[in-house]
């Protein structure tokens, strides 16, 4: 693992009432420290772009942005490289990329995906950027004024269009919240079906994106939608958690011990003040010149949804980014109930660790 020498980043980072010193990472971390994202740049990736210094450069061809890795603006002696996912990686699952490209230090992997792929491409989460997943079901409140929850959709036999890769579909059926006939696995991310049906069908989406898009940017709809988080219906993965290959854990441990608290602080800083990271995200997307577009108002709306819904939060304690093993065990039980083939010996501790988390860092 190649590292380069750097300098000690002086200065202090505040977290509520806590203080920690920015650290020189050059002797313990690879440079660049490569983070593989699950999609193109968006405000949902704000904490990761918060890590980039003002010297960042965009590689439009490879859909990558790279710059000094900073902690509250102070250099840490290494670079960070944030790589786009989705179409930028041929729509490969992030764990698959991690097993084909040894330069990736950390991949952003939702825990339901980690569970599903644990046999062939196991990964272990080290930091939960999100307390609640933004994945939701949405519907037209004018068409269905009396529907307020996902359970209401099921009771009223409303068909919901979801991705064919969604891991929660079978659980919804097995749990009795919905029937097989109410799940349509034809959703491809386009708004066309929802709009063409005039809101007859419900649809999956993210609470940080679609509500804004349908009300403000999709002019063929141009009105609000109503939604409920899958988290609040009972399906609670850690969305896009930072994960490493178990085989790399020992070698990366000295780095992770120091970089995870910096990342925790980046979550806190992004939640408190998103403008800088959002500006980098919008600028990066504009330089890609690709199908993916992203506006400053959309980034602002995404952050507002994160705040309103408590999607990035301390959870039940005073620490940002830590994870509950029982929550992952419950998720595995739900996925097994839905028919997901999960190794019998797989345990929550195989999928997560809090060993690098600084418990003193959290939202005020």
Q: What is the pLDDT of residues 304-338, one digit of tens each?
A: 999 999 999 999 999 999 999 999 999 999 999 99
Q: Nearest-CA neighbor of 323 among 252, 238, 245?
A: 238
Tokens matching residue 216: 């403000």
| Cβ-based neighbours of 159, under 8 Å, separated by 6 or more | 181, 182, 183, 184, 200, 201, 202
Reported as a pLDDT band with limits 50, 70 and 90, residue 357 is very high
CB contact at 8 A, 3 and 29? yes
Distances (CA, A) of 1 to 4, 24, 29: 10, 17, 8
Ranges of each domain in the chain:
12-131+238-350, 135-233
- What pTM does this model have? 0.92
Superfamily classification of domain 12-131+238-350: Periplasmic binding protein-like II (3.40.190.10)
CB contact at 8 A, 86 and 62? no
- Residue-level pLDDT at 16: 38
Pick the CATH number of 135-233 from 3.50.50.60, 3.40.190.10, 3.40.1640.10, 3.40.47.10: 3.40.190.10
CB contact at 8 A, 37 and 45? yes
Q: What is the pLDDT of residues 129-163, one digit of tens each?
A: 999 999 999 999 999 999 999 999 999 999 999 99
Question: Cα–Cα distance between 36 and 355 in angstroms, integer?
Answer: 21
Can 12-131+238-350 and 135-233 be said to share one CATH topology? yes
Beta bridge partners of 205: 136
**Integer-rounded Cα radius of gyration of the chain:** 20
Tokens matching residue 301: 């709306």
- Residue-level pLDDT at 165: 87
């Amino acid at each position: 693992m190649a590292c380069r020498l750097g300098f000690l980043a002086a200065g202090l980072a505040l977290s509520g009432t806590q203080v920690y010193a920015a650290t020189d990472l050059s002797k313990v971390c690879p440079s660049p420290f490569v983070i593989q994202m699950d999609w193109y740049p968006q405000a949902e990736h704000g904490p990761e772009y918060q890590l980039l210094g003002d010297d960042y450069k965009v590689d439009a061809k490879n859909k990558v942005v790279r710059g000094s890795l900073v902690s509250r603006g102070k250099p840490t002696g290494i670079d960070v490289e944030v790589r786009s996912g989705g179409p930028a990686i041929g729509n490969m699952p992030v764990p698959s990329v991690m097993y084909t490209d040894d330069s990736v230090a950390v991949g952003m992997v939702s825990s339901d995906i980690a569970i599903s792929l644990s046999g062939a491409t196991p990964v272990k989460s080290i930091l939960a950027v999100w307390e609640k997943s933004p994945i939701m079901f949405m519907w037209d409140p004018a068409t269905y004024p009396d529907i307020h929850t996902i359970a209401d959709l099921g009771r009223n036999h409303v068909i919901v269009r979801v991705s064919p890769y969604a891991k929660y579909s079978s659980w919804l059926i097995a749990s009795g919240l919905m029937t097989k006939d109410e799940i349509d696995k034809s959703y491809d991310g386009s708004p066309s079906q929802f709009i063409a049906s005039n809101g007859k069908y419900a649809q999956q989406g993210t609470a940080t994106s679609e509500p804004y898009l349908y009300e403000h940017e999709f002019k063929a709809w141009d009105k609000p939608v109503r939604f409920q988080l899958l988290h609040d219906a009972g399906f609670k993965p850690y969305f896009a958690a930072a994960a490493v290959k178990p085989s790399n854990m020992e070698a990366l441990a000295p780095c992770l011990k120091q970089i995870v608290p910096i990342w925790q602080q980046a979550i806190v800083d992004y939640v408190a003040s998103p403008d800088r990271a959002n500006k980098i995200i919008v600028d990066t997307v504009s330089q890609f010149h690709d199908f993916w577009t992203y506006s400053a108002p959309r980034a602002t709306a995404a952050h507002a949804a994160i705040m309103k819904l408590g999607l990035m939060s301390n959870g039940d304690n005073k620490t940002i980014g830590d994870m509950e093993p029982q929550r992952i065990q419950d998720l595995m039980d739900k996925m097994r109930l839905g028919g997901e083939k999960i190794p019998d010996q797989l345990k929550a501790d195989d999928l997560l660790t809090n060993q690098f988390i600084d418990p003193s860092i959290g939202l005020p």
